[in-house]
Structure 1
Amino acid sequence: MCDSSTAESRVDRRSWYMLGILVLVYIMGSVDRAVPSVVVEPLKREFDLSDAQIGVLTGFAYSIPYALAALPGGWLLDRLDRRRFLAFTTVVWSVLTMAGAAVQNYVALLLARMGVGASEAPASPGSLSLISDLFPRERRGTAVSLYYAGTAVGQFITFMVGGWLLMHFGWRSLFLIAGVPGLVLAALLVFTCKEPERGRFDPPSAEGPRRAVSYAVAARWILRSRPLLHSIWGNMLSTGVQFSVMVWTVSFLVRIHGLTPERAAIWVGLGIGLMQTLGSLLAGPVTDRFSRGESARLALVPATFTVLAALTGVAMCLAPTLTAALVAMAVFAVLVGGVVGPGYATLVSFTEPHMRGSVLSIAKLFSILIGNGVLSFMTGKLSDMIGTPDSIRWALAATLLFHLWAAFHFWRASRAAQRIAANNSA
């Protein structure tokens, strides 16, 4: 295996360029996914919806179709040209996002969002699979953190631009405009990028090159690998919390601190989108320097940041003033930047190259279906059950405590990886 200096020299401009395209695709996917979060309050008024119905729209309407499409998508990713497949799915979800501008009722919007969820399923696993073949192990923390900074940038664009569009043109304009850039990026991915060789930066197997595996084999691998299993749990819980925060923070600022939906969206864009981007950009180099290519040390990074994010997130919910809430929200967002990229980098590090499409799809399926779907719905349902004017404060605070559960699993992943490394060196 290459040493760090040799591996670093092999990261050429084409790899960075393709990473840039994948980041932009992910940004627009995040925008398309987050648009309903900006318009929660206008949607409630226009279609006379409850918080639970909003939870279904932003959670299950996306996560269940995503789950149904994730496994077939991962199977195809291990067998097809990944960039062409991702370009095709990008076109589909972009068109369906634009279709949201024309809906006339809640059911039609649900169907459009279901299509977006299904077509986005291969995006993240496919991109992570490509990134693992574009960058060596010593640089993957930075590369994956840059990729997942796209979530925060997407939130910044969605809430900042979305808040402005909401002020001047109404909620339908957000859906229409959000879908356009994905069509351009899909063309760039096909015509300006090259499919990398699979497993080019991973140590060769003693059994020689391996072929893509079935989902039964991938599932058995996950169950046998304690570091990978705990990493999947940690990512599922942490991404679910972050998605719930994205969905409900605008409503939190409107109901608890009296902002208009438009101004609340702009503050969320600044306080979460911009600051999480900063956190992600800082987390990549710090993670690579701390982990030194060791998977056990890598898992300690999201373990630490999830604990800190839980504490600052609860502080945001309980803050007595708008200023205090916004400051806590900004600190929370920086800390979340240290969770997302390093967290998903652990999945790549704990998985063999020939099964990354399948394993990452299984991991993403649980993150979306259980993490995003259940936690987002749970927050809305809990708010309805509490039923007080400030119920969203307590529902969101309860959801943020799931970050502590995620931290436990990342810590267990690190301990399990340490034991494996010690046994291999004995």
Structure 2
Amino acid sequence: MENVGKALPAVGVKSGSRYRAWLLLMLSLIYASSFIDRIFIAVVGQSIKVDMNLSDLQIGVLGGLAFSLFYATLGIPMARLADRMSRVTLISLSIAAWSVMTVLCGMAGNFAQLLLYRLGVGIGEAGSTPTAHSLISDEFPEGRRATAMAIYALGPPLGAIGGAIGGGMIAQHFGWRPAFWVVGVPGLILAIIAYLSLREPERGAMDRISTVDAQRNASLGTIAAILLRSPLFVQLLLGTVIGAFAQYGINLFIPAYLTREFGLNAAQAGMTFGLTIGVGGAIGTTLGGWIADRAGASDKRWYAWVPAWGTLLGLVPVSLAFMQSDWHIAAGLLFLATILLSSWNGPTFAAIHGLVAPRMRATTSAFVFLMMNFIGQGGGPTFIGFLSDRIATHLFTDGDYSKVCRIPHGAHGAFGAVANSPLAQACADASSRGLRYAMLAMSLLLLWAAFHYIRAVRHVDKSR
């Protein structure tokens, strides 16, 4: 990895360890709030599917493309603001915006309204993560940055635990609409606390860089040129985007899969999803950052080796999970896979931030998230939903699946004319197997992602 600028003594007042801990706690909670709002469709998707009579493709659009469309495309403009204005103000306003939109999702009367509010959630969240990355890089030195990034990245698994378990229970007992209200309101409280308690750090103080002011007005084209000229960045980006395409798609449909394949209710599926993805993600994310910083102290190639090995090894249990007839074994395999597949975050962003000047970092993160979320989160769930519908249609032999199996009253959301009748069971079987094979096919893409992470290793300066 190479840095930009000439080394100078660090300037400005450094934050104490207590404030840094508070900063990471707040940013992680904010990330958790955003992730709950982002993936909550996964928790209540089966209930929405039944209530609004939707297809898997429509659920995939709500959970993927509807959110990522503006989240990805507005990420760079928001990051440009973060590189120029108060990041604390920007992130506080963003939290309030996405929280309001999440509450409105619970008031949607039809698919079109729900789609519109999901677009709004994406608009709000566009100003969050790149801004947080920039704040972290200006509070932590390079040797501790991957660990700090990994701690921040605990937000999604924490959000998965709280949102999936709590949201699943609320949806089971009170319906999916009140569940949206409950998960949306805490974000408004976080927005106020963040605005009042966080402070704007000096840019570049942790890097001892003389070019901070010179790079103040670096154009988007300049930043893109720096990144795209780096083989390390290109390979890390490809690994991240392809991995996100597979993981986002699989994760969104895990609760629905547990319900259709094993008969779990919303609360049971939500709890299993939360513990599997949440706890597994927390362990994997923390270990990934810690191992990279520890091993990277003597060999910087570990910042690429960690995501490479994590992705390659994670392919095995995630594939096996969708071949099981016992949901306990499937959940255990998904838990192991999540630990391995979550190791990429801290090392990847730490390596990427080492390639650019401090005032380029929010934009750099936004560029990564643009690709990761538009292609990964936008395309992954949508593709799995499309593939699931197509496979189910092919497997169903009792007529036109899209017509016969979308009459309300069926089992597991694969609707039949009479609940628990042979026709309803045939619809349920086709729906379940369609989703199983779609998720199994998607998991194989992780091999492709691992290939690019491995290629990234050769481009890391191991001595730095």
Identify whether the pair has TM-score above 0.5, normalized to the shorter chain: yes
| TM-aligned CA deviation for residue 161 of structure 1 | 0.4
Deviations 1:191-230 (A, max 9, x none): 1111111111114247974323211111111211111122
Deviations 1:30-52 (A, max 9, x none): 01111111111111111111111
Q: Helix, strand or coil for the counterpart of 2:25?
A: helix
Q: Is 1:49–2:49 an aligned residue pair?
A: no
Q: Helix, strand or coil for the counterpart of 1:328?
A: helix
Matching residue of 2:443: 400
Residues 352 and 414 from structure 1, CA distance in 2 versus in 1: closer, same or farther, beyond 3 angstroms?
farther
| TM-aligned CA deviation for residue 136 of structure 1 | 0.7
Given candidates 184, 197, 204, the residue that maps to 1:179 is 184
Greater share of helix: 1
Q: In structure 2, what is the Cα distance between the partners aligned to 1:115 and 1:73?
A: 15
Deviations 1:253-290 (A, max 9, x none): 11222222331111111122122212223333222111
Q: Helix, strand or coil for the counterpart of 2:460?
A: helix
Given candidates 109, 113, 122, the residue that maps to 1:104 is 109
Matching residue of 2:28: 23
Contact 2:15 2:139 in 1 (8 A): no
Q: Helix, strand or coil for the counterpart of 1:318?
A: coil
Given candidates 260, 268, 271, the residue that maps to 1:266 is 271
Matching residue of 1:231: 236
Deviations 1:30-76 (A, max 9, x none): 01111111111111111111111111111110111112311211111
Counting only pairs closer than 5 Å after superposition, residues 113-192 of structure 1 correspond to structure 2 as: 113-192=118-197
Contact 1:11 1:134 in 2 (8 A): no
Structure 2: runs of 5+ lacking an equivalent = 1-6, 396-429
Q: Helix, strand or coil for the counterpart of 1:394?
A: helix
Q: In structure 1, what is the Cα distance between the partners aligned to 2:298 and 2:150?
A: 14
Counting only pairs closer than 5 Å after superposition, residues 24-103 of structure 1 correspond to structure 2 as: 24-103=29-108
Matching residue of 1:221: 226
Kindly provide the amino acid, as one letter, of the partner of residue 38 in structure 1. Answer: V
Q: Helix, strand or coil for the counterpart of 1:338?
A: coil
TM-score norm. by structure 1 comes to: 0.93
Contact 1:21 1:189 in 2 (8 A): yes
| TM-aligned CA deviation for residue 305 of structure 1 | 0.1
Q: Is 1:378–2:383 an aligned residue pair?
A: yes
Q: In structure 2, what is the Cα distance between the partners aligned to 1:377 and 1:38?
A: 16
Q: In structure 2, what is the Cα distance between the partners aligned to 1:272 and 1:357?
A: 27
Contact 1:149 1:337 in 2 (8 A): no
| TM-aligned CA deviation for residue 356 of structure 1 | 1.0
Kindly provide the amino acid, as one letter, of the partner of residue 41 in structure 1. Answer: Q
Q: Is 1:410–2:453 an aligned residue pair?
A: yes
Q: In structure 2, what is the Cα distance between the partners aligned to 1:118 and 1:295?
A: 36
Q: In structure 1, what is the Cα distance between the partners aligned to 2:365 and 2:212?
A: 23
Residues 396 and 322 from structure 1, CA distance in 2 versus in 1: closer, same or farther, beyond 3 angstroms?
same
Contact 1:235 1:344 in 2 (8 A): no
Q: In structure 2, what is the Cα distance between the partners aligned to 1:374 and 1:93?
A: 21
Contact 2:384 2:442 in 1 (8 A): yes
Q: Helix, strand or coil for the counterpart of 1:311?
A: helix
Radius of gyration: which is bigger? 2
Q: In structure 2, what is the Cα distance between the partners aligned to 1:126 and 1:250?
A: 31
Matching residue of 1:254: 259
Kindly provide the amino acid, as one letter, of the partner of residue 27 in structure 1. Answer: A
Q: In structure 2, what is the Cα distance between the partners aligned to 1:192 and 1:276?
A: 28
Structure 1: runs of 5+ lacking an equivalent = 4-8
- Size of the aligned set, in residue pairs, is 416
Q: In structure 2, what is the Cα distance between the partners aligned to 1:242 and 1:135?
A: 29
Q: In structure 1, what is the Cα distance between the partners aligned to 2:175 and 2:362?
A: 39
Q: Is 1:14–2:19 an aligned residue pair?
A: yes
Q: In structure 1, what is the Cα distance between the partners aligned to 2:187 and 2:298?
A: 33
Matching residue of 2:405: none
Matching residue of 1:275: 280
Residues 2 and 288 from structure 1, CA distance in 2 versus in 1: closer, same or farther, beyond 3 angstroms?
farther
The Cα RMSD (Å) is 2.0
Q: In structure 2, what is the Cα distance between the partners aligned to 1:184 and 1:271?
A: 28
Kindly provide the amino acid, as one letter, of the partner of residue 448 in structure 2. Answer: W
| TM-aligned CA deviation for residue 307 of structure 1 | 0.7
Residues 279 and 223 from structure 1, CA distance in 2 versus in 1: closer, same or farther, beyond 3 angstroms?
closer
Kindly provide the amino acid, as one letter, of the partner of residue 303 in structure 1. Answer: A
Contact 1:11 1:135 in 2 (8 A): no
| TM-aligned CA deviation for residue 293 of structure 1 | 7.5
Kindly provide the amino acid, as one letter, of the partner of residue 403 in structure 1. Answer: L
TM-score norm. by structure 2 comes to: 0.85
Q: In structure 1, what is the Cα distance between the partners aligned to 2:46 and 2:138?
A: 43
| TM-aligned CA deviation for residue 354 of structure 1 | 2.1
- Worse-matched range after superposition: 402-411 or 177-186: 402-411
Q: Percent identity?
A: 33
Residues 10 and 76 from structure 1, CA distance in 2 versus in 1: closer, same or farther, beyond 3 angstroms?
closer
Matching residue of 2:400: none
Q: In structure 2, what is the Cα distance between the partners aligned to 1:185 and 1:2?
A: 36
